[in-house]
Every structure is written in C-alpha cells, then in structure tokens.
Amino acid sequence: MIKASLVFLFRCLWFLLPAALSNHNASVGNRLLAPKFIKPWLAKLDVPVDFGYKLKGKELFGRNKTFRGFAVGIVTGILIAGIEALLYLTIPFFRENSLIDYTKINFLLVGFLMGFGALFGDLVESFFKRQLGKRSGEPWFPFDQLDWILASIIMTSIVYVPSLNYILGIIVVYVLVHLASDRMVQRMGIKKKEDVFK
C-alpha cells in the first residue's frame, strides 16, 4: 500500500515536472545563470506581453509578464522533457513510472506544450487579477496555484491524457508543492511575507 502510494506520487510529480520548472524559471528569468552571449538576447526580450496597453485604465497582464519569461519557460519545458525522455530510454525505473511513453511522443512537443501551457495559464489568471484590481504578486488562492497546472494539463492533452485519478492526483500534489515552495522562498527572503498565501 505504501509502495503503491509512493509510486503514484512519483508519477504525478514526474508527469508535470516540465511545466512546474517552466513556471518557476519564467518568473526568475532575469536571475537565471546563463552564458554571457545569451544574456543580451534575454534582455531584449524583457518586454511586457501586453506592450503596456491598458483596458479600462488597468494593465492587461502587468509589467512582469514578458516575452523573456515565455522564452525561458518554454525552453525550460523542452529541456526538462528532454531529460525525462533520456532517462525513459536508458533507465528501467523511469520507463516503468512515466505516464508518457517517450518512444511514441516527441519530447520537444511535450516540453513545448507543458511550458506554453503553464505560462498561458498564468497569463490568463494575471488578466483577471489586474481587472479585479489585485496587485502583481498578491496571493489569490487557489487560482495562483491552479492556473498553470490546469492549463498545462489541457495543453498536453493534445498528445496525452492521464486517467482521471492521475489528473486529480497531479492537481492536489502540485497545489501543495506550490504552497510549500512559496513558504520556502519567503523564508529565504525572495518573496515578501504578504505575497505568500497564509
């Protein structure tokens, strides 16, 4: 029973890992370690997705939603999916516990769909936050957690749809992971206390 639960937990975490790290890296794109020749290109992409346009006097998405974030997030998703595919092909443990069969589904597509899905979901949620007058970074439970999770699952369903029990497990696990990581970065001084859901 314990072993089966641990396997289920691992499969949930492993499935959405490309999206989770895409979501994380997109938000810290300006602080990522990167080769010097890449940094000027990242700087050029530091442009708001909404180009500063406003709707009824309110930002569409906010200054922190940039093309750089999208680029970093999508590349992260592809890299992590590539690592998952490599492990799937070389180590039996990962082959037995991956929901996605990387011999049938291209990791580039999986990584792109998860990365784009995570960032698009976050973008949609940001639109509603701005229109409701919530400031950037203000906690909005459970939408801060669900936006990227649900959008990633929906986008990835183009190539693979997990069973319902796994979908529910993935949602619950990653909501908890998101809340725990928020507390962790708050204690590290990266996030302000008022920006973390209590």
Q: Which residue's entry shows tokens 């409701």?
A: 132
Residue partners of 134: CB distance under 8 A and separation at least 6: 140
Alpha carbons 81 and 111: distance in angstroms, whole number: 5
pLDDT (0 to 100) of residue 64: 81
Helices 143-156 and 164-187 pack at an angle, to 10 degrees, of: 140
Alpha carbons 2 and 8: distance in angstroms, whole number: 10
The secondary structure element, H or E, covering residue 42 is helix 39-44
What are the mean pLDDT values of the chain's consecutive 10-residue runs (198 residues total)? 90 96 78 62 76 80 84 94 98 96 97 96 90 76 88 97 96 89 59 45
pLDDT (0 to 100) of residue 193: 45
pLDDT (0 to 100) of residue 197: 46
Q: Which residue's entry shows tokens 């200054």?
A: 63
- Judge contact between 129 and 140, C-beta under 8 A: yes
Alpha carbons 86 and 95: distance in angstroms, whole number: 10
